[in-house]
């Protein structure tokens, strides 16, 4: 499978925080969801991929090349609007038409209309969610083969997020398009992502197909003795609460078969994140 992005041995440190020896592939034509707690390194990783940050060491290739100065191949939406507040939607469109060789003005205007944003309004007159939508409209209108979204839906209301995800799925119908989507709203990733990468304290602790994660991982709840009876080799993380223990297991079907008396629930991405971040490794 061809990769849109290949990261090998990425190292980046900021004083007491570091990404150490990270390997990551974003397969071409797929959506990779990136999850992790605050400060895990998601934005740092994205900035290293886009070239906004220098890596201490490691190799990053986008579409097979280390050269990231090819205009228009990559689209990025950061967690805050990076467009000048005094520019209107129309001025932004004109600017981007000058900047991008494959700018599609009609597509931009269509998306702006779909998002309900007037082209005459300046960015500072819009809410946070609306200004993020302008950025999304820009990044989906210049023929990018790789779009990176860093908390792009933060600040959007549920209806807008739903509409945004529809647009993402429509964009991904072209097999040439790839996406890396970092989000705390894991339900969005459960809906659209093909792969999930979990970044925890600068390291990737999970990188698997989303459907497999949601099918295999489970949460076992009960008394401590009951839960520990399934064996530490089957437990990814353990969280002790006031009156019970919750354990994240890698293969809920096997645990259910071996211990039919236990309650084994499916694990959402939220459950997995909370149990790993706030629990203890087995």
Partner 1 sequence: MMTLVRKDLILIKSSIVSLSIFAAVLCFLLKVPLITYILPAVLLVSLASASIRWDEQCNWDRYIMSIGVDRNTIVRSKFVTGAILALIGTAIGLVISISMSYVYDFGDVASMVTACPLGFIIGIIVSSVSVAVYYVTGNSVKTQYISVVANIVVISALITLSMIAAEAFGDLTLVVLALAAVAVVIVYTCYLVSCRRFAGIDL
Residues that bind partner 1 (CB under 8 A): 47, 50-54, 68-76, 78, 80-87, 91, 95, 98-99, 148
Pick 102 or 212: Cβ nearer partner 1: 102
Quote the least distance from Cβ 73 to partner 1, whole Å. 6
Question: Could you give the count of Cα atoms lying within 13 Å of 126 in the half-sphere of its Cβ?
Answer: 29
Q: Which is nearer to partner 1, 150 or 188 (CB)?
A: 150
> Could you tell me the smallest distance in angstroms from the CB atom of residue 108 to partner 1?
15
C-beta of 85 vs 253, nearer to partner 1: 85
H-type alpha helices, the chain = 42-50, 89-99, 105-114, 128-139, 158-171, 186-192, 210-216, 224-228, 252-258, 269-278
| Burial class of residue 116, CB neighbours in 10 A (0-12, 13-18, 19+) | exposed
Q: Is the separation of the CB atoms in 176 and 2 below 8 Å?
A: no
Q: Minimum CB separation from partner 1 for residue 28, in Å?
A: 18
DSSP state of 2: -
Smallest separation, CB 4 to partner 1 (Å): 15
Min CB(54)–partner 1 separation in Å: 6
Token representation of residue 30:
């797929």
Task: Name the residue nearer to partner 1 (CB basis): 178 or 237.
Answer: 178
Give CA–CA dist 72/159, Å, rounded: 29
Closer to partner 1 by Cβ: residue 86 or 281: 86
Structure-token match 């197909």, residue found: 209
């Amino acid at each position: 499978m061809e990769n849109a992005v290949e990261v090998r041995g990425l190292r980046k440190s900021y004083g007491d925080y570091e990404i150490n020896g990270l390997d990551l592939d974003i397969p071409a034509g797929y959506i990779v969801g990136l999850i992790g707690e605050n400060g895990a390194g998601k934005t740092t990783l994205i900035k290293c991929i886009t070239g906004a940050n220098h890596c201490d060491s490691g190799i990053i290739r986008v579409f097979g090349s280390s050269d990231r100065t090819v205009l228009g191949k990559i689209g990025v939406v950061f967690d805050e609007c990076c467009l000048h507040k005094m520019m209107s939607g129309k001025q932004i469109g004109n600017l981007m038409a000058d900047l991008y060789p494959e700018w599609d003005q009609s597509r931009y205007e269509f998306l702006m209309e779909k998002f309900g944003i007037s082209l005459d309004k300046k960015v500072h007159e819009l809410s946070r969610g609306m200004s993020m939508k302008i950025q999304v409209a820009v990044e989906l209108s210049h023929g990018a083969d790789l779009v990176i979204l860093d908390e792009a839906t933060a600040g959007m209301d549920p209806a807008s997020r739903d509409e945004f995800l529809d647009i993402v799925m429509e964009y991904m119908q072209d097999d040439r398009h790839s996406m890396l989507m970092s989000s705390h709203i894991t339900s969005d990733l459960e809906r659209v992502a093909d792969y999930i990468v979990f970044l925890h304290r600068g390291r990737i602790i999970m990188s698997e197909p989303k459907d497999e994660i949601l099918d295999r991982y489970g949460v076992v709840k009960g008394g401590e003795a009951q839960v520990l009876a399934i064996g530490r080799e089957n437990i990814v993380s353990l969280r002790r609460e006031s009156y019970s223990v919750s354990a994240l297991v890698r293969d809920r079907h096997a645990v259910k078969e071996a211990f039919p008396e236990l309650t084994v629930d499916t694990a959402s991405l939220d459950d997995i994140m909370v149990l790993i971040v706030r629990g203890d490794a087995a």
